[in-house]
Amino acid sequence: MSLGIVLVMVVLTGVTGSPSVTRRPETETTAHPNSVPETVEEPETFGQQDVLVDEEAEEDVMATGELNPNHYPAQRAAKVVQHYLNTRHGSPYRLFGLHSVLRGNAEDVADSGRKYQLEISVQEIIGNTTEKCSAEVLFPRGERQGAPQVQASCGDLLKNDTKAQEEALHNQYKTNQTLLSAQNLPDSYGHIDPDMKPFWHLGQVASSFVMLRESTENTLFNMAQVANITQLATENDQLKFDCHILLHEMVSQEIIHWKLLFTWSPAGGVTVLQMEQLPHRCEKPPNTNN
């Protein structure tokens, strides 16, 4: 992926709880065509192309002060806000994405790391509503290095009431005698059965816990596919799922496999209990446009 002017989707802060994380040795890296970055093509002013590349390369290294909203430093920080919002407020009927970065500023904070002040536009994808958000993202460094720390204020972003839909879905699958099992959301043609879309959304919300935890100033994650999701039996009010997801790391062009164990209920939201990074697979992943 060239250093072009890139527009990505949404982001915000912090994961609650401490799911166990396991990583297995990596094997072969396979590029994945599934999740295509939303890019703004560079104008065909070839005389300026090298200058644009040089300027963005310099900003990528020295992301301090006022930032170009379309360049990597601001976009990567804003994407973290998207994952943060999903971990806090995501559900089968509420999913957040980055619409655009309006303004960004970065500064070094002593030995703590680099702090980004952002004004962004966030879209609630399912309800198709967009709101402006103010956010602060701190990428820790040194001994304190870990998941980004996020604070965000988004006005009326949560105004859509999804309670009735969530309770209906929860009751349906809580009382079903047959436990849910689904694969390839979306399939190789980009199709998702309408009945399975809530579980595609749940997979995306759960994946945001991984993407938030793994994000740095040098990464840019997208959800590519729910390879499979299986409902597990529980004795409490939570629906419990074992899930295999594919993440697209757009900078390295790697497809990264993770196995997640998570629960969901309308009252408790999504809670990720376990995360396990799986080896890269050798088979070619599905070619979808979603």
Q: What's the CA gap between 52 and 37, in Å, rounded? A: 19
- pLDDT for residue 125: 95
Structural domain includes residue 283: no
Torsion, Cα of 128, 130, 136, 142 (10° steps): 30
Question: In which residue ranges of the chain is pLDDT below 70?
Answer: 1-63, 143-144, 281-290
Can you read off the two tokens belonging to residue 246? 């594919």
Domain count, the chain: 1
- The CATH number for 133's domain is 3.10.450.10
- pLDDT for residue 233: 95
Structural domain includes residue 88: yes
- pLDDT for residue 63: 62
Structural domain includes residue 184: yes
Note down the domain range covering 261: 20-278
- pLDDT for residue 37: 34
- pLDDT for residue 284: 46
Q: What's the CA gap between 187 and 94, in Å, rounded? A: 22
Structural domain includes residue 35: yes
Structural domain includes residue 8: no
Cβ proximity of 219 and 137 under 8 Å: no
Q: What is the pLDDT of residues 262-289, one digit of tens each?
A: 999 999 999 999 999 998 764 444 444 3
Can you read off the two tokens belonging to residue 1? 């992926």
